Amino acid sequence: MKSYADSFLELIYPEKNTCFICEDYDQSIEDKYICTHCENLLKKIEPPTCKKCSKPIDYNSSKEYCQECCDEERHFVKSKSPYAYDGLIKKAIFSYKYYNKPYFYKLFGNLLVKYMIDTDYKCFDYIAAVPLHSSKMRKRGYNQSELIARYISKKLSIPYIDALKRTKKTTKQSGQSKIERRKNLKYAFVIKKNVEKIINSTVLLVDDIYTTGSTVEECSKVLMNYGTSKVYVITIAR
């Protein structure tokens, strides 16, 4: 049976074969939710990239990791993102979060599933999402990362686990320095009750954007301290 949320999302959902981005109608769109023209405009992250966080690195560099990953602690094994946070994808993520377009999770979810299959990034025991604080959840009505995580969970048959809770209301991070972000996020997440099954398992953590990595690092730390054996990360863009 469909949940109330699913039926509600379908009501406000654009007509079949309509590109979510440019709103053009094309019969080949189907369940990609994006036309070929718009998809070709999305800027893919090309190698060489940092082995840890997928940041593009200099061709001439002999290093395997970017400077940030050399300098800072990372509790996750690896973080991957198919797209550069720029242009069309940046606009689309913005609309998804701030212009009440919850159904965009289908577009992003589908792009991520394709990417996970293509890059063989799909051997995980559980899939979790970076949580929103309850006040933000009330305001927005949905957690953008959770909707994507649940979509991937269904498509790749990886069980979704609601493992994390955001206990601290964090201020908007976009204008903050790395040090401020980290301070702001300290003790912001806790493990929920009754999720013991993730102990000794491999968890894929989903977030929308990777900026400095502070958010996914803080969540990974909490998961690892709880007893998870490995945490991997995926975001739409970075």
Task: Considering only the stretches 66-74, 103-111, 124-132, 188-196, report the one whose residues sit in contact with Zn ion under the rule CB under 5 A.
Answer: 66-74
Longest dimension (CA), the chain: 55
Among the candidate windows 59-67, 119-127, 146-154, 224-232, which touches Zn ion by CB under 5 A?
59-67
> According to the binding rule CB under 5 A, does residue 50 interact with Zn ion?
yes
Binding residue for Zn ion, selected from 32, 42, 49, 52, defined by CB under 5 A: 52
* Interface with Zn ion, residue 70, by CB under 5 A: no
- Cβ 233 vs Cβ 205: under 8 Å: yes
Q: Which of 66, 111, 161, 234 binds Zn ion (CB under 5 A)?
A: 66
Q: Give the one residue of 32, 33, 42, 53 binding Zn ion; rule: CB under 5 A.
A: 53
Which residue carries 């699913």 as its tokens? 6
d(CA 231, CA 224): 7
Closest approach, Cβ 72 to Zn ion, in A, equals: 9
C-beta closer to Zn ion: residue 19 or 92: 19
By CB under 5 A, is residue 89 in contact with Zn ion? Answer: no
Residue with Cβ nearer Zn ion (131 or 213): 213
**Residue 204 makes contact with Zn ion by CB under 5 A:** no
What are the CA-CA distances from residue 129 to residues 43, 58, 68 (Å)? 24, 31, 23
Residue 75 found at the interface with Zn ion (CB under 5 A):
no
Q: Is 29 in the site for Zn ion (CB under 5 A)?
A: no
* 32 lines the binding site for Zn ion (CB under 5 A): no
Does residue 69 belong to the site contacting Zn ion (CB under 5 A)? Answer: yes
Q: How far is the CB of 65 from Zn ion (least distance, A)?
A: 5
Query: How far, in whole angstroms, is CA 222 from its chain's centroid?
Result: 17
Which amino acid makes up residue 132?
A: L
Residues with Cβ within 8 Å of residue 205, at least 6 apart in sequence = 76, 128, 129, 130, 216, 219, 220, 223, 231, 232, 233, 234
Shortest gap between Cβ of 153 and Zn ion (angstroms)? 27
Distance CA 32, CA 30 (A): 6
Count of residues interacting with Zn ion (CB under 5 A)? 11
- Cβ neighbours of residue 18 closer than 8 Å, sequence gap 6 or more: 24, 25, 29
**Alpha-carbon gap, residue 2 to 137, rounded angstroms:** 21
Cβ distance to Zn ion smaller for residue 21 or 107: 21
Residue 221 binds to Zn ion (criterion: CB under 5 A): no
Instruction: Supply angle C-alpha 217, 210, 17, rounded to 5.
Output: 135
List interacting residues with Zn ion (CB under 5 A).
19, 21-22, 35, 38, 50, 52-53, 55, 66, 69
